[in-house]
Structure 1
């Protein structure tokens, strides 16, 4: 695989963010991964209000990437559309129904201290579970 052209990665990221905005995705965040992970340069996480919206956003995004960049993307989870992963090589997109997003909490898993995008709000720390006395 050839090294990613930074201008092309930036253009791909902008296209994805604009598409999600056009489709009224909710709680869109981006996490920069360049230099921190080899899977991609950006991870985008967004929510849709229903499985239908999540599936529609994923399909439109795949079509736009193919039209603009002449490359196909890999899509997982489209059948149930609770959590759809779109792998566009340099940018990985996770589209969720809100309940599924809350359950998996990818934002917390991928935080890198202060390097997370400013659009990402800190998540509350859950209270410590109490253990019964033995």
Structure 2
């Protein structure tokens, strides 16, 4: 499933709608933070303000890769370390991030875009191997 959303639509999402869109039924009782900088509910993975965090295993478990805007070129494909992939992510960059199944960010494979104001996705529908951070 390919999902993209215009930047203007990101601002229209409420915290409740965002939580319903990215949390699995196992996390139905939790919600994403309403604003950047808010602490995530206890069941969600720790990811600091301004960071994109990707975990090797679903449920925010396993090896965690952390990326900050200072170390990422905007709108450039960033592959995870060779052989690495992720099954859960948190986007606290303040910018939309597209997660790709393909290491080259090819749109022939699966991809999803996540808003940047505080999005926790405990289980990706595919193994994430690369990402792009977009302008607002």
- Shorter chain as denominator, the TM-score bin is under 0.3
The TM-score normalised by the length of structure 1 is 0.28
More helix by share: 1
Could you say which structure has the greater relative contact order, defined with CA pairs below 8 angstroms and 6 or more residues apart?
A: 2
The TM-score normalised by the length of structure 2 is 0.27
More strand by share: 2
